[in-house]
Each structure stands twice: as structure tokens, then as C-alpha cells.
A and B are shown apart, each in its own frame.
Chain A
Amino acid sequence: MDSYLLYGITIVLLLLSFFKDRKKTSMALKKGWKAFDNILPEFLVVILFVGVMLAVLDPQTISKLIGKNSGWVGVILAATVGSITLIPGFVAFPTAALLLQAGAGYMQIGAFISTLMMVGVVTIPVEIKYFGRKMTLLRNFMAFLFSFFVAYVIGKVAG
């Protein structure tokens, strides 16, 4: 549903652009394609990594590690799994819901979801290309630490 909205907006803007200036529009499309083409090799590597990861880790395995009574050790584990894996939202949220049903704790799931979104170990090489080593490592490290705070608050409010 959401991507239809984005498609709609894109098509409207593209038509506007086309009526205003055809040459500029074809230039924009070429540039967009170029940007996609530039990052495609990295995309494909990441996608393969994610495939292997999801094939190895199933919900039962994960929920055993990060149960309600696993405490901060469970939070650290969950944060580590979340940092390393790269799961798209439409898979991650239902999985997290399953994990909660299977006995995982809210604090641990909070850490998992937060690091999943903010920390990307697999994509660090791509990020370094754009932001340099120092900023990339700092950003991921701060996001990792911040996720513990997020987990703590979620554990207090939702747990």
C-alpha cells in the first residue's frame, strides 16, 4: 500500500517534469538509473548475506536466546543479532511478534528491533564509501548504545 503512494507521487512529479522540460526529465531518469547502477553490486552482496542469515536463524532459535528471563545478557544478545542481521521491516515485525509469542521479552525485542533499524554491520563497507571510516563507525556505535536505552524504555512501558 505504502509503496503505491510513493509510486503515485513519483509518477505525478515525473509527468510534471516531462511537460515542463523533456530534456531535463530524460536527464533525471538517466541520473537516477546511474545512481542505482552504481550501488547495485553492493545491493546484491547484501541481499545474499541476508538470505543466508535468514536461512540459518529461525524464530525458535532466536527466541530461545532472548527469552523474558534472559535479562541484560538477553538484551546484549538481541542487540548483537539485530546489529548483524539486516531484515526488511515487512519480515522483521511479524517475526518479532512471533518471537514475543514464543516467549521473548519486550526489552529484548526492543533492543533487537532498534539495532536492526539503526545499526548495519553488513552494510558498513557501503557506508564507509559515503561517510568515511570514522563517521560510519561512530554512527553505528552510538546507535548501538542508544538502542539499549530504547530497549529499557520499551521494557518499562510495553513489557
Chain B
Amino acid sequence: MVNLIKRYRSFLVVLVCVGLLTVFNRGIGIKALSISARSFVEMLFIIPPVFVLLGLLDVWVPRESMIRYMGEGSGLKGVLLSLFIGSAAAGPLYAAFPVSAVFMKKGVSFSNVMIFIGAWSTTKIPMVLFEFESLGSAFALTRLLVDIPGIIIIALLLSKMGGKEEIKQIYDNAEKIDPCS
């Protein structure tokens, strides 16, 4: 119980703040709470497959094949796979962080992890389809064509700028915080 309260401490603090907000400004407070409740339900609907797939990946896919397909020296194959997996995902970007930790644990190269994060944030297929519908093909197509090279360049720059030491630390950390244990 104490542990539970400790883990949800920040949430409880923010919840109390929103409660106070509601006391001072009923309209905004209630609107905020109802939007939050709606996005929570939305999230509960969208997110379960991501975590089930994460569990299956962790159990079934051996480290060796992850390294072969997406590790250092996996080349274009690794880049394309990372782009594809990120684009096929669903859910908000912060759901991608635990997935990347498992990727790192399984030996996926840092630049590919970053490409995966970039794809998850900008080229998710369901989201892009929706974008075509709402904002038109000129907007969506342009963004896509600029973003795909963009996320690859950013990923490569990040893994260059990180340096071996820094990246090793991140990998050690991923091993430690192993989200699945």
C-alpha cells in the first residue's frame, strides 16, 4: 500500500492540483477532468496490443536474431525494419520508451532505436491516414517526405553525438530498468 502511494505520488499531487483548480474555476476544472477521463478510456482501448506484443517479443525473439536484423551493421535492412515497426505502432510516444528499452536489451543499435522512436512519433500509419483525411494530401505527403529522411538524419546525428560511453550507459540502464521485470 505504502509502495503503491509512493509510486503514484506525482499523480496524486497533480490530481489534487486539478481538484483545487476545479474549486476555483468549476468550468475549466470539470472540462479538464472529463477530457482526462476520455483520453484514459481511449488509451485503455489503444494500448493493450502494444504491451502484449512487447511481452511476446521479449519471450520469443532471441537476442541473436534481433542483433542480426537490427543491431550494429544491420545496415539498410535495420533502418527499414525500424522505420516499419515504428510506423506500424499505435499509442502515444511515451509508450514507445519501454519498447525501446527492450530493443536495447536485445541488442538493437542505438541509431535504429532512435529511428524507431522517430517513426513512432511521426509516421505511424494509422495516424498518417487520418492526417490525409483531415489536412489533405499536399500537407500529409509533404510532411511524410520531409520527415522520413529527417528522422534518419536526426537518429544518426544523435548516435554520433552520444559517443560510446554515453550510449553504453544508456544500454546498461535499459538492462537495469528492464520494463518487463
Query: CB within 8 A of B59: which of A28, A139, A158?
Result: A28
Q: Which residue of A lies closest to B157 (CB)?
A: A142
CB proximity of A119 to chain B, nearest CB, Å: 9
Q: Taking chain B's interface residues, is the majority helix, strand, or loop, or is none over half, making it mixed?
A: helix
Known: A3-B46, A113-B143, A132-B166. A33 touches B51 (CB 8 A): yes
Residue pair A120, B36 in contact (C-beta under 8 Å): no
Check B15 for interface membership: any CB of A closer than 8 A. Answer: yes
Chain B residues within 8 Å of A35, by CB: 51, 54-55, 98, 102, 179-180
Check B114 for interface membership: any CB of A closer than 8 A. Answer: yes
Question: Which one of B64-72, B75-83, B121-129 contacts A?
Answer: B121-129
Residue pair B142, A93 in contact (C-beta under 8 Å): no
Residue pair A93, B36 in contact (C-beta under 8 Å): no
- Counted as pairs of residues, one from A and one from B, with CB atoms less than 8 Å apart, the total is 234
Chain A residues within 8 Å of B7, by CB: 41
Residue pair A54, B60 in contact (C-beta under 8 Å): no
Residue pair A34, B162 in contact (C-beta under 8 Å): no
Q: How large is the interface on A (under 10, 10 to 19, 20 to 34, 35 or more residues)?
A: 35 or more
Residue numbers of A with Cβ under 8 A of B are 1-3, 5-7, 9-10, 13-14, 17, 24-25, 27-36, 38-39, 41-52, 54-56, 86, 88-90, 93-94, 96-97, 100, 106, 109-110, 113-114, 117-118, 120, 123, 126-127, 129-132, 134-135, 138-139, 142-143, 146, 149-150, 153-154, 157-158
Residue numbers of B with Cβ under 8 A of A are 7-8, 10-11, 14-15, 18, 21, 28-29, 31-37, 39-40, 42-43, 45-56, 58-60, 88, 90, 92-95, 97-98, 100-102, 114, 117-118, 121-122, 124-127, 129-131, 133-136, 138-139, 142-143, 146-147, 150, 154, 157-158, 161-162, 166, 169-170, 173-174, 177, 179-181
